[in-house]
Structure formats: structure tokens, C-alpha cells
Structure 1
Amino acid sequence: MFDHLSLQCDDLAASRRFYELVLGPLGVGVTMDFGDVLGWAAADGVPKFWLGAQTTGGKQREIHLAFTAPDRATVDAVHRAAQESGVEVLHAPREWPEYHPGYYAVFLRDPDSNNVEVVTHA
């Protein structure tokens, strides 16, 4: 639905570690590294998700990001990796029937206090 998304981070190294943990099971990784800006891409290699050091504005507000997983096992793998790394889990994986049947997701807190979801619709 979007061409790309870019977030500014208070601690780029901590955010990189978090997103490597969360996006690795989804097959998404850093494909462009400009030092203070990182571009993340899936198999096509085209960066769609960008992280950069905080350079403008003041204190940021919480942002909600949802990344698509191919299946429940991948959502569960992200959850296990988050728990093992001490990442704050907002909501453990479960089905959310109020959204629609088959909506299965985990919700995590990233280093900048953003609400990060990994979801499958299978």
C-alpha cells in the first residue's frame, strides 16, 4: 500500500538490533547502509523501510507499524526471539477475531516506544 516508510530513531544501533530481530524471520534485512540511515528490503532488494538517526522535530509520538508474516509459525518465531532478547511484548501471539477470523498477531515495543506488530491473515 505504501512505497516506503522512514522512521527517525533516538538510538539507531538499538533500533537496528530490534528490527533485525523482528524482521529477520520475515526475510527482510538491511540492503543499504549509509551509516546514519539504513534501508531494509525483502527478496526484491528494494528498500521499503528506512531507519535514521533523529535529526528533526522533538519528542516523537508512538507510531504503529504492522509487518506481514507468511504464517502463524513465523509470528510465533518473532515472539520467541523477542522474549529471548528481552524485548517488551505488548500482546503475545493470538488470534484477534474482532479484526477478522484468522488475524493472528504479536505486538512488541521498539526502542523508541513504537508499537510494532507482526501479523498473518492466514
Structure 2
Amino acid sequence: MIDHFGINCSDWAKSQEFYDKVLGVLGYTRQMDVGVAVGYGSDGHPAFWIGDAPAGNVAGPNREVHIAFAAKDAAAVQAFFHTALALGAEPLHEPRLWPEYHDKYYGAFVRDPDGNNVEAVFHGGGPTG
């Protein structure tokens, strides 16, 4: 059900040190580092992300959470996006390939009623495969 999720951190250096060490003893390592976010996991799949809150201009005590739900195919990603919009969700990113993550990463992002960044992702490519 859950593909990955992320939290924002106010002290970027301290948070990186903390998660590098506490997740390291559990056998997890950095799988991706994109400068303002680090993804931890195993086997090449970052399942837990931390983000640099100040770099992302996140303000206030209620910082958004990011959660990505696994979709069975590209059509499900599209259905998720259009259903969310029909319910009044704010669109963040329409369904598309995200090659900066990997060449078959197909996802769509919306803001839920509480302001969280919610995504549906399929790891098998876009509508044509």
C-alpha cells in the first residue's frame, strides 16, 4: 500500500546525522540524496525520506507530510489524480514520468484537505509502458 513517505526537518545537518546512524543500525542506508532531501531504505528503494524544511520554504508548526501510495499501473495513477481533483484537491503535479527518480517512475501529486503532499506512483513506466 505505502510506497514511501517523507517528513521535513528543521535542523538539516542534525537530522541527517540522526537518521544516518539510527537507521544504519537497523540495516538501512541512504539510497538517494538530492541535496534538499535524502531517501533511506535498502535494495535501491528509498522508502523513508527526510527533507530540509528551510530549503523547501516550509513555514509554521504544521509542516506537510509526503506520502506515496503504490499504484498497480499507470491508469491507476491517472485515476487517483482525476478523482482527487474531482474532490477539490489542489493539483501539485499531473501524472508523468519522473526520470530524476528512475526511468520508469510514473507519479502524480496532489495536496490533501489538510495540506499534505499525497502521491500515487507506479514503478513500471507511463501509459505506454
Q: Scaled by the length of structure 1, what TM-score is found?
A: 0.50
CA distance in 2, matches of 1:104, 1:121: 6
Q: Tell me, which stretches of 5 or more residues in structure 2 are unaligned?
A: 5-59, 125-129
Q: Which has the higher strand share?
A: 2
Structure 1: 5+ residue runs without aligned partners? 3-57
Q: Specify the alignment match of 2:85 in structure 1.
A: 83
**Same amino acid, percent of matched pairs:** 54
SS for the counterpart of 1:99 is coil
What amino acid maps onto 2:89 in structure 1? V
State the alpha-carbon separation in 2 of the partners of residues 79 and 98 from structure 1. Answer: 20
State the Cα RMSD in Å: 2.0
Q: Which has the larger radius of gyration?
A: 2
Q: Which deviations, in whole Å up to 9, do the C-alpha atoms of 1:34-71 show, x marking residues without a partner?
A: xxxxxxxxxxxxxxxxxxxxxxxx94211110110010
C-alpha distance in structure 1 between counterparts of 2:88 and 2:114, whole Å: 15
Partner of 1:115: 117
Task: Report the count of equivalent residues.
Answer: 67
Moved beyond 2 Å, runs of 4+: none
Q: What is the CA–CA distance in structure 1 between the aligned matches of 2:82 and 2:65, rounded to whole Å? A: 23
Name the structure 2 match of 1:94.
Answer: 96
Q: Distance in 2 between the 1:120 and 1:65 partners?
A: 14
